[in-house]
């Protein structure tokens, strides 16, 4: 067989040229809004390739990557074992629309790492998993109302695109055009880490609440932890009123700990488990794959066994499951998360020291391979506090780091991610850049 002819080398386009071109055919020039750099200003970088801890843009500039595709690349880019598994799976076929042994293996691997679950349903995105988890909770309980928290993002399903109401424990209002008010009439939006509000909500609506959904570490208001008393009280209230507790671990799953964030809360709250768990990012290793999972009793409500319908042509995709399995195998090796957590803490400690030396108000937090920093003296506990951080100073810091070859999330309300591929030299270079930028802040 003759090889395909090589295309002639195309002229190199700049990031600005590509962005201008993209805006002609793609709304805003991007296929996910935060990529547009609207929050920080400037021109988004168009990435051409990645390897290990680095990404390269269209102009050949290399960056140390602290986004990692927004969480999946916990091993770094192009890990040999993952790459080998994906290539082998691709040779066997991209998609079958039929069951495969590998999707069973991935489900078994997830169950083996998370004690709270007995069955898993694989899907293609975190949004799909979150939407399906809520439908399952409503179907299992026969109730309509759901509780979410301001600043937590669970995907762009209609019922979840809501902002908080004006009063205590009030129903939310749509935050996106195209979402009718009646679609979110059953969604209550409360303040994160506010025990009094969750108690008031259950007192007023307890018999009608199907579920409470939460990010245990909120990664879309940067990095904000749910306090142990807050999580404990939600668990108690759900048990008392017959509601289900959903842990959205799309970001935190297998990244903050091998047993995910729920394993950390189980250490602090004896016997703690959520009723339904939502996973994404790491379990796909960079491929479009997510999942929701629960006990056998709850999962039996799903079609084809029960009345709750959910389906997907590409669910359990054979290439994606190969990528996810290989990733889970690597991160399950002894000491992996301890080493990753040490790198992340070193990064945070160094950033804090550089900010302190420059006299810049700064606070940091991290867990495993996930981190956050704020231009404020103390860590925020909810969305309203996050929004008081110094936006202008963050933007200057972001661009200063970008110019020095460090790629951070282009918005102050997004968490950051480390990978096992980061070297000591990478961390040293990052902290040297930060010291330089903060000194000018």
Which residues are known catalytic residues? Answer: 153, 248, 281
Q: How far apart (Å, rounded) are the C-alpha atoms in residues 171 and 164? A: 7
Which is nearest to 82 in space by CA: 319, 369, 333, 417? Answer: 319
Peptide bond into 304 cis (omega under 30): yes
Residue 268 main-chain phi, psi, to 5 deg: -95, -25
Cα(90)–Cα(322) distance, integer angstroms? 9
Beta carbons of 324 and 279 less than 8 angstroms apart? no
Which residue reads 């409470």 in tokens? 212
- Picking from 355, 359, 369, 365, the residue whose alpha carbon sits closest to that of residue 431 is 355
132 closest CA partner among 278, 351, 334, 34: 278
Pick from 439, 256, 440, 224: nearest CA to 353 = 439
């Amino acid at each position: 067989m003759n090889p395909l002819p090589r295309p002639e080398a195309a002229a190199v386009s700049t990031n600005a040229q590509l962005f201008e071109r993209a805006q002609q055919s793609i709304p805003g020039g991007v296929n996910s809004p935060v990529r547009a750099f609207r929050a920080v200003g400037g021109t988004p970088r168009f990435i051409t390739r990645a390897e290990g801890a680095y990404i390269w843009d269209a102009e050949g500039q290399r960056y140390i990557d602290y986004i990692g595709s927004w969480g999946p690349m916990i091993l770094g880019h192009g890990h040999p074992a993952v790459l080998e598994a994906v290539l082998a799976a691709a040779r066997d076929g991209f998609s079958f629309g039929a069951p495969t042994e590998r999707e069973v293996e991935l489900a078994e691997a997830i169950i083996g790492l998370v004690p709270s679950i007995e069955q898993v349903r694989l899907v293609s995105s975190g949004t799909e998993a979150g939407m399906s988890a809520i439908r399952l909770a409503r179907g299992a309980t026969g109730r309509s109302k759901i509780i979410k928290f301001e600043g937590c993002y669970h995907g762009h399903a209609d019922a979840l695109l809501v902002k908080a109401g004006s009063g205590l424990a009030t129903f939310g209002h749509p935050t996106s055009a195209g979402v009718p008010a009646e679609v979110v009439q059953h969604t209550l939006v409360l303040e994160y880490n506010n025990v009094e509000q969750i108690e008031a909500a259950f007192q007023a609506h307890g018999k009608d609440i199907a579920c409470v959904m939460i990010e245990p570490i909120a990664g879309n208001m940067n990095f904000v932890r749910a306090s142990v008393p807050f999580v404990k009280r939600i668990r108690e209230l759900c048990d008392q009123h017959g509601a289900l507790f959903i842990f959205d671990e799309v970001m935190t799953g297998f990244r903050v700990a091998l047993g995910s964030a729920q394993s950390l809360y189980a250490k602090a709250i004896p016997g703690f488990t959520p009723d339904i768990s939502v996973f994404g990012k790491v379990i796909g290793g960079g491929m479009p794959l997510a999942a929701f999972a629960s006990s056998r009793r709850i999962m039996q409500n799903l079609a084809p066994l029960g009345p709750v319908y959910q389906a997907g042509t590409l669910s359990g995709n054979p290439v994606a499951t190969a990528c996810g399995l290989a990733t889970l195998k690597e991160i399950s090796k002894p000491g992996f998360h301890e080493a990753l957590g040490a790198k992340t803490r070193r990064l945070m400690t160094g950033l804090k020291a550089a900010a302190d030396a420059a006299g810049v108000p700064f606070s940091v937090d991290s867990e495993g391979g996930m981190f956050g920093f704020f231009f404020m003296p103390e860590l925020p506990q909810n969305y309203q506090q996050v929004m008081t951080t110094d936006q202008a100073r963050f933007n200057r810091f972001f661009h200063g780091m970008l110019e020095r070859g460090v790629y951070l999330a282009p918005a102050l309300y997004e968490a950051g991610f480390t990978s096992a591929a980061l070297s000591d030299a990478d961390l040293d270079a990052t902290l040297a850049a930060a010291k330089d930028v903060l000194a000018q802040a």
